[in-house]
Structure formats: structure tokens, C-alpha cells
Structure 1
């Protein structure tokens, strides 16, 4: 009973604090080099509006956050850093493969694969990013980066040009302690990794949901949530879904090429 109550209170707190990170805002970042991050994907709704980030991991699949799921049809745009420069050849309809254990951001398992309606055309503008291997451990304070489309300050206007920013890995136990401190009182879900948004002015804000946390040229995390819609860092660390914990599930779907 207490376990269920704790989950309810956590879910309520997350919703009240605006932790679910829809949209995309990179804080204190810079315009991304057009020759880099060719794996970045814009996950869009049925009106062609950017909803979340994502990243190509295979010629047929994009990885993103489960909470980016839309009620209506969705599509993915590949091959551009500028969302004002999109043509039909860059857009792919998708089939959603949400993690079967996902219920809400507060309970974790915030990860989803999107199967492209056709294989991505790999070229000088489109290239998948390799995933971290299960046996590799990311060290505390390792310099990684996160990228996305959107505003660059709290309440600012969105930016159609991809931006990225360096973020350091935060020790998971320290991250849990910071989130559990009053007045937050949040117990983090399992299988997460923390980086940025704490002890630094860099991170994501309300957003870049579904985008990748990349360390040493490998995707290690999926943007999940942060604290409130306030981008005045530092507060508590940003939270990502830890990809290494889901490799068997990912590999199974990639192998069978269906959900």
C-alpha cells in the first residue's frame, strides 16, 4: 500500500512541477556543426510540428522517449539541422514501439523505438549513432553533450536551428540525494543516468525530450525529465533514461525489425 502511495505522490509531484520535458530547449549551447550529429531526428506530430528529439540508431529505427508518443500519427525528419529546410524526402512515417513497461515518466522506462516506414537513406547528411555497450561504465564528470531544437532561455522563443551543449555526468547516488532533498522529495525511477543541470549552467530545459546524451561518440542516454520549466541552473541534475539497461530489448526489436 505504501509503495503504491509513494508512486502516486511521485507522479503527482512530477506533474505539478512540470517535469515532463516536452518541447526542446538547449541552455547555454551553441549552433551545432552541420557536419556533426547526423543522427539527430525531429519527431513531429501529424501537423508537421516538432514535438521531441530523437536519434537514428539503425537504418530502420529512431530512438526517443516514450512520453513523446502522440495520440495521432507521427513522423520523423532526418538529414537537416534547420527545421525550416525540410522536404518530403527527409520525412518518414513511423510505427511506435513503446517499451512495454512504460506507464509514466515518474515510473521510468521512458524509452521508445520508432520504426521508419522505409529505410533511411544514409549519406553525408544522415548517419546513425552507435549505442553504448553494456560493459562500458561512464565515469563521473565525463564530458558528454546533448542536442536539440528550441529556445535558449526560460520562456524564450523556439529556434529552428539545432544546438548542442556540453554536460558533465553526475554521480547517480549524488543525483538521487539531490532529487530526494526537500522540498523536492522525489525518488528517481530505476535505470536512469544524470548529467548537467546541477553545478553547471548547461543542460536541457522542458525539453529535448527523446534526444540523445552522447559520450565518446556513443549514445548513452535518452532525455527524460528535469525540474520545473525554469532553466536557471543549477538546481538538480537532468535525468536521462539509461540506454545500457535496455540493450536486450532494443537489439531484439532491431533484429526482428518489428515491435
Structure 2
């Protein structure tokens, strides 16, 4: 049986370790998910003009708005948009049991911003395939959050190896970064995308304890391809209602 203590010691929010600043004119699909005080609590990414994907456990921070179109959260030239509805995967219970995905419906955008394409219903990631993860926040254990978006390359980890390192690993996840490396995510990146070949294939979910120096535990992402039917159903139903 999976030890719930193991997962309760995992981080509930994450940021980029040993990455670099994202180019100014890139990643305009990235969203800062914020609370009513205007504090960044999680990441997310825009998939249509009115839907942002994030992690289900980010709902614990009571998000009220998303900020789009700005790499530097200190700048004012961004869109702050109210969250209209939060759609959490119905069988999500806690971060350690998987299904860590949430779809945020936002009030329709007033100007054009970039969206990111999702993978088809089935994808095949190669072991050691290089992908990217991006976000705002801490760059070292117990460090301070950053205001400028950062990005880092991470390699896909074989699922069998990942299961050996995470006994009781939940289903429908992707493992990449944080294992035999100094690169990955840490506090503040939850809900952000894992990007492979230009597609948002994963959602940042959890890593091991509050250690961003990286012990031998892979970083865990929710596999978006396993939730395409659920996402498409919500998006289409909202459009039908309009």
C-alpha cells in the first residue's frame, strides 16, 4: 500500500531549479494563478481563449485570478482576468493519488494572447527525450521567489525506473527531471506545463519533500493525454451554452 506519509512530505507548490530566464517574446501561454491578494500561488497555461489548465491541488490556495501576457510579474502590462469557474477532475482526492488536474474557465480575454496546443489522446515520449518546464518562484531550497519567468530543460524518465523510485506511483503521470540531475521544478511551479515538441504534455504535480537540491526522486507531472476527453468535453459544453 502506498504510504500517504511519503506523499504528504512532497511539495505542494513548485519552481524552476538551475534554469534560465525565458526569452521575452516566448511562452505567452503561461499563466500566473493568483489569490485575491494578488499573490502568485501556482502556474498554469492557456489552451483556448477562455480556459487555463492548472493542477487540482492549486485549488487549496483559493485562486481568484490569472495573469497572462507578462514574463515579469512586477510589470503592469499584463492581463489580470477573473476566474469564472473551476473544474476539478471529479475523482481527484489528494496529490498522492493522481488526477491532479484542474481546468479554469476565465472571463473572455480582451486581447489576443498565445495558446499552447495539447497532445492527442495517445502520446509516446522517449526515455531521455529533452522537454522543458517553466514557472515563477524559488530557485533553491527555502529561497525566494522570482518575478521573471524561468525555463529549464528536463529529460523524460523511464516509467519503470520512476515506479522503483516512487513506490505506489499514481496512474496517468509522466516523470521528467529531478532524478540524477540538478534540474527540475521546486516551490511555486505547480500547474505549469511540461513541454515536449511544442506540446503541453504534462502538468507540474509534485516532487520529493522540500529539497530542491534533488535527491534521487523524479519530478512528477499529470499526463494530459489521459484527460483529453475530459478537457474537450468541458470546453465544448461551455461553447454550446454560449
2:27 maps to 37
Which residue of the other structure, out of 180, 191, 194, is the alignment partner of 1:210?
191
Match of 1:135 in 2: 122
Contact 1:224 1:240 (8 Å CA) reproduced: yes
Selected match of 2:80 from 81, 85, 91: 91
Where do residues 1-259 of structure 1 align in structure 2 (5 Å cutoff)?
Answer: 6=1, 10-15=3-8, 17=9, 19-22=10-13, 24-70=14-60, 72=62, 74-86=64-76, 90-94=79-83, 95-119=85-109, 121-122=111-112, 126-180=113-167, 187-257=168-238
TM-score (norm 2): 0.94
Q: 1:120 to 1:194 in 2, by over 3 A?
A: farther
* Runs of 4+ with deviation above 2 angstroms: 10-13, 70-73
TM-score (norm 1): 0.88
CA offset at residue 157 of structure 1? 1.1
How far apart, in 2, do the equivalents of 1:120 and 1:57 lie? Answer: 16
Structure 2 residues without counterparts, runs of 5 or longer: none
Q: How far apart are the structure 2 equivalents of 1:198 and 1:72?
A: 31
Report SS of the residue matched to 2:166.
helix
Structure 1: any 5+ residue segments left out of the alignment? Answer: 1-5, 181-186
Specify whether residues 73 and 40 from structure 1 end up closer, same or farther in structure 2 by C-alpha distance, changes over 3 A only: closer
Q: Distance in 2 between matches of 1:170 and 1:164?
A: 19
| CA deviations over 1:189-228 (Å, ceiling 9, x no partner) | 1110000000211100134100000000100000000001
Q: 2 CA distance for matches of 1:247 and 1:73? A: 23
